[in-house]
C-alpha cells in the first residue's frame, strides 16, 4: 500500500515538474498577446487617468487587461531594470500620468513630442500602467 502511494506521489511530482517546465520555458515564449493586431479602446490620457482616479474598480472593469490606444505628449523617456524603454505620457493631472513599457527596443521621440501608443492596461499605481506597448505613430514636433 505504501509503495503504491509513493509511486503515485512520485508520478504526480514528475508530471507537475514537467508541466511547470513546459509553461515557463516553452509555452510562455511562443504564446503572447499580439497588441499589433488587437482592437483597442481609444481614449485620451486625461480620460483614463480621471476614470481611475474617480472609481478604480469601475475603471478596472473597463480597461484592465484590455488593449488601450492613446495619443499624448511624452513627459519622460527612460529604461527599466530589464532594459526596456519606458515612456511617461502626460495627462491633465500633474501628479498622475500614463506609464508605458515598450514591447521592443525602438527609437522614440524626445520629451514634449506627440505620440500614439497602444498597450495592455495593467491597472493603476500612482500612474496608469500600460505594458507590451507599441508605437502606432510618432510626430517629431508638436
Number of domains, the chain: 2
Boundaries of domain holding 92: 41-138
Q: Judge contact between 47 and 62, C-beta under 8 A.
A: no
Q: 130 vs 21, 87, 121, CA distance in Å?
A: 28, 10, 4
Dump pLDDT digits (tens) for 87-142.
Answer: 999 998 889 999 998 877 666 667 778 889 999 999 998 899 998 888 888 775 54
Note whether 74 and 6 are same-domain residues.
no
Q: What is the pLDDT of residue 68?
A: 94
Residue 36 lies in a domain: no
* CATH code, domain carrying 62: 2.40.50.140
Dump pLDDT digits (tens) for 21-72.
Answer: 887 777 666 666 777 788 889 999 999 999 999 999 999 999 998 999 999 9
Amino acid at each position: 500500500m505504501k509503495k503504491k502511494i509513493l509511486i503515485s506521489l512520485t508520478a504526480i511530482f514528475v508530471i507537475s515538474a514537467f508541466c511547470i517546465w513546459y509553461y515557463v520555458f516553452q509555452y510562455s515564449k511562443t504564446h503572447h498577446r499580439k497588441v499589433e493586431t488587437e482592437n483597442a479602446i481609444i481614449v485620451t490620457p486625461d480620460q483614463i487617468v480621471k476614470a481611475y482616479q474617480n472609481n478604480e474598480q469601475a475603471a478596472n472593469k473597463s480597461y484592465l487587461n484590455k488593449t488601450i490606444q492613446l495619443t499624448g505628449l511624452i513627459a519622460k523617456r527612460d529604461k527599466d531594470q530589464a532594459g526596456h524603454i519606458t515612456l511617461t505620457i502626460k495627462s491633465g493631472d500633474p501628479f498622475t500620468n500614463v506609464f508605458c513599457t515598450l514591447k521592443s527596443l525602438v527609437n522614440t521621440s524626445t520629451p514634449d513630442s506627440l505620440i500614439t501608443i497602444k498597450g495592455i492596461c495593467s491597472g493603476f499605481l500612482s500612474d496608469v500602467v500600460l505594458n507590451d506597448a507599441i508605437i502606432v505613430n510618432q510626430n517629431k514636433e508638436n
